[in-house]
Structure 1
Amino acid sequence: MKRYPAEYKEWVVEQMMPPVNRSVVELARETGVTTVSLRTWRNEAREQGRVVPGNGKQSDKWSSADKFRVVLETAPLSEAELSEYCRRKGIQPEQIRQWRAACEQANAKT
């Protein structure tokens, strides 16, 4: 099995994160790293609590788990910090507010 430097793995994982959101298949084709390795690296990053959709989808198509992670990450941020976070991730503050509202309503009784 080929070993990759930690810095390289980090760069690849960042390519799967917002705002880039490159797919595993696209990265495998470009880098020559197997899709199995890329998915393993993505899962390891998720286990560390990072938001890594990695499926090439735009933020409004992310999984509930990824949206929830963003809500958790941004909960303690000020408005200025939230704006900076959104610029880095390529998402809108309004999306996070909507996701937060959805999380708050998730266990509401109807």
Structure 2
Amino acid sequence: MARYGQVMKDRVVAKLLPPESATLEVVAREAGISVATLERWRGEALSRPARERAWTAAGRLDAVVVTAALDEAQASAWCREHGLYPSELERWRQGATDALAEPGEARAAPNETRADKKRIQELERELLRKERALAETAALLVLSKKLSAIFPEHAAV
């Protein structure tokens, strides 16, 4: 008897459930799992609350596309029907938008870039000042140890 990991089970069951709703035979052929096993897994998944079910990437994209033209009330009703929170749907929409953004859109504005450069320069100057102070302190410590090694009577002072 073959054993399948939970990740694989979730992935296969997500194909069987809405919004993809693939047929048992097709998924069984693709995954190489018997139809009876898939029926059992689907039954177990349907017995769990809808919020605990896994969504595939294609399913999330379909959900975003389907709800894009709906107003807020209709989208909320759709989410309730499919066991989603509207915030999850919005997060998926934002992820899709980010993934499709042009590289130029993701760049910072020029004034943000200037402010960042100025802040970096200030931090680098402060770091250099602190490094110099640390080096001076280390040199004074080494010199005081050498002095106490050469003149042990001055060590108590």
Q: TM-score range by the shorter chain?
A: 0.3 to 0.5
For the pair shown, the structure with the greater C-alpha radius of gyration is 2
| Greater length-normalized contact order (CA 8 Å, ≥ 6 residues apart) | 1
Which has more helix, going by share of residues? 2
TM score, norm. by length of structure 1: 0.48
TM score, norm. by length of structure 2: 0.35
